[in-house]
Amino acid sequence: MPSLDIIIPAFNAAHCLDRTLRAITDQSIPPNLSFSTIIVNNGSTDDTAAVIDHWGGKSVRRVNYREVRSRSAARNAGVSASTADYVLLLDADCRLAHRGCLNIASEAI
């Protein structure tokens, strides 16, 4: 079974991250795809960590950076933490376009 990790770098994203994670959990997940979400808390000083913790245990993992680094460095940290066959890069303020995005990705894989 192929696996997919969604990598999300997050810097002071408490205002939008919950909506992004809700859109991910609302996806129609194909039975032949194993997936999880890795959020890289990139030195946030707002409630980003609390939002991530709220979603923890729902296939959401957190990678912490104590100090702010570039978005690329945060993405790379997420990819390094991934053990999946494939990764999907998503920003904290973006949402998957519709409920079938992971189905489409699974078919492409």
pLDDT tens-digit readout, 58-98: 688 888 877 778 888 999 999 999 999 999 999 999 988 88
- How many other C-beta atoms can be found within 10 angstroms of the C-beta atom of residue 70? 11
- Indicate the pTM of the whole model: 0.90
- How many other C-beta atoms can be found within 10 angstroms of the C-beta atom of residue 8? 27
Given CA atoms 79, 83, 87, 91 in this order, what sign does their dihedral have?
A: negative
pLDDT digits (tens, 9 = 90+) for 5-59: 999 999 999 999 999 999 998 888 888 888 899 999 998 999 999 999 998 876 8
Report d(CA 100, CA 65) in Å as an integer.
32
pLDDT at 58: 61
